[in-house]
Chain A
Amino acid sequence: MTIQITPKKATGVERLLEVSVPVDRVRAAEDRAAHRYASTVRLPGFRPGKAPAAVVRKKFAQAIRQQALEALVQEAYKEVIEQEHLTPAAQPHVHEVKFEDGKPLTFELHLELRPNVELARVTGFRATRNARPVNAAAVREQIDHVRDQRAAWTPVSEKPAPGDMVAVTLATLEGPASASGESAEGREYRLVLGGGQAIAGIEELIMEAVPGQTIERAVRWPDDFPDETQRGQTKTVRVTLNDVKRKSLPDLDDAFAREVGDFDSVAALTAAVREDMTKQATREADAEVRQRLIDEIISANPFDVPPSWVARLVDAYAESYKIPADDRAHFDTELRPVAERQVRRDLVVEAIAKRETLAATEAELDERIAEVAGQRKVSPSEIYASLEKAGRLREIEQSITEEKVFGWLLANNTITESGERE
């Protein structure tokens, strides 16, 4: 007798099947389970595994039935997949299990199938490649940023100006200035003026003092102060300016270039920064054009994606961003479209690689590994072994495939360049 399969529902990539396993199969599975159990079980009066099946079956009826049920569901699932020629995308869900003595076993199998990505059209799309120009100003800005990071703070003895770092002792004296004569304990703060670290009124007050001076005045708390209870209040503030430090940027000269890295001159540093930025811009433009092409292909070739894949990806995102359990619901709804897009993208890449036989070959993988080995100055076999150990070989294989697929896509679609280059 064979297993009976009745399709109940089919939407998108999801299938709901009713499966019925005939009684004789159920009995056979129970016998097998009992024998398996008997061969391992320990019973008083018997050496391990020597208890007769009948005795074991009587004693462990529940456990044996459970084992038989698991085995039967597995078996039936395999048969369903084979009979119906299905390619499941994830582990199936089993519902509505009816397992009564002397009756056929019936259950519902909820499956998600791998989507059939047909890709009727993958060529003839147009995409614009927006290469952002790397001009002298941008390079200069980047270098200035580095200078800013390496700035020195030197003490000055004049009134501070915006941008200066000050050390102050702040004390708030409750009530209007005239009424309160006693001084409160102040707290020491170190802040950079003009950065919005302190209330505007207090910053103004600080800027009126010279180092060592103490000023007292009423200050009105702004209406957008984070603590609502203090909004719009006026309090007397006593400020003691302890010291002022002014930022001095290092000069942009060859010495600075040497300090930053292995550069002989400012020209060399500039060239290196420009090269880095150009590479970065190219990478960004490439990624953008790839994404655009994929988006076009996805919208031209609609297909369903298994919800479990999307959910798994969202889980992985949540894991990597360490999202607390309370925020998960919100995070999930936000990230679901992103994850779905990623799943579609991977499926499209896979489908194109398969159709156009662009999958990474062994030789290409070896080549890539040799390349990495060359960079790190170790033998390729070491790299290979460490990648295999970390389970990252597949990742590299995928990235090669992806590069090849995108190379093919770029060659077979029209890419127009836009944006001026310097």
Chain B
Amino acid sequence: MTNLHRTIVRPVMTEKSSAAYQERREYTFEVAPQATKPAIREAIQTLFGVTVTGVWTANVRGKTRRVGKSVGRRADWKKAIVTLRDGDTIEVFEG
């Protein structure tokens, strides 16, 4: 993974993720489906200039959506939750 921005897609800002941040200092991102934990760690460390202490990932299955008769499905995506060394922060979550 040479392209860091392709690894980390976007921070996830939802009720659940902001609660995780506020309670446990966990940062949630959407990442590329093929991204591995070491790649995610590497990408976050380089992008934000922090030290990552833990990476957890999950493949999120896209929800089925229907419009009238036609049934569709949202894309699957990969979620990564990372923790940082004490004192490090990532600005997007700071508010």
Contacts and interface: CB of A to CB of B under 8 A. Distances in A.
B14 interface: yes
A46 B95 contact: no
A45 B95 contact: no
Contact of B15 (A46, A54, A56): A46
Interface string B21-65: 010000000000000000000000000000000000000000000
Contacts of A50: 15
Contact of B13 (A45, A47, A53, A57): A45
A53 B94 CA distance: 11
A54 B94 contact: yes
Contacts of A255: none
B95 A53 contact: yes
A45 B14 contact: yes
A38 to B, nearest CB: 11
A52 B16 CA distance: 11
A55 interface: yes
A239 to B, nearest CB: 84
Contacts of B14: 45-46
Task: Tell me what chain B mostly uses at the interface: helix, strand, loop, or mixed.
Answer: helix
Interface residues of A, number: 13
B89 interface: no
Interface string B72-95: 000000000000000000000011
Most buried by B among A45, A47, A56: A45
Contacts of B95: 52-58
B94 A47 contact: no
B2 to A, nearest CB: 30
Nearest to B22: A52
A54 B18 CA distance: 10
B40 to A, nearest CB: 21
Contacts of B13: 43, 45, 55
A53 B22 CA distance: 12
Nearest to A34: B95
Contacts of B94: 54
Interface string B1-19: 0000000000011110110
Contacts of B17: 45
Nearest to B21: A52
Contacts of B22: 52
Most buried by A among B14, B17, B94, B95: B95
A61 to B, nearest CB: 10
Contacts of A54: 94-95
A55 B18 contact: yes
Given A53-B95, A55-B95, A47 B15 contact: yes
Interface string A33-51: 0000000000101110011
B41 to A, nearest CB: 25
A6 B87 CA distance: 46
Nearest to A54: B95
A57 B13 CA distance: 14
Contacts of A55: 13, 18, 95
A46 B17 CA distance: 10
Contacts of A56: 95
Contacts of B12: 45
B79 to A, nearest CB: 13
A338 to B, nearest CB: 60
B81 to A, nearest CB: 15
Contacts of A51: 15, 18
A104 B92 CA distance: 28
A54 B22 CA distance: 11
A50 B15 CA distance: 7
B86 to A, nearest CB: 20
B91 to A, nearest CB: 10
Contacts of B15: 45-47, 50-51
A46 B19 CA distance: 11
A41 to B, nearest CB: 13
A55 B12 CA distance: 12
A43 B15 CA distance: 10
Pairs of residues from A and B, 7 with the lowest C-beta to C-beta distance, nearest first: A54-B95, A45-B14, A46-B15, A58-B95, A55-B95, A52-B18, A50-B15
25 contacts: A43-B13, A45-B12, A45-B13, A45-B14, A45-B15, A45-B17, A46-B14, A46-B15, A46-B18, A47-B15, A50-B15, A51-B15, A51-B18, A52-B18, A52-B22, A52-B95, A53-B95, A54-B94, A54-B95, A55-B13, A55-B18, A55-B95, A56-B95, A57-B95, A58-B95
Interface of B: 12-15, 17-18, 22, 94-95
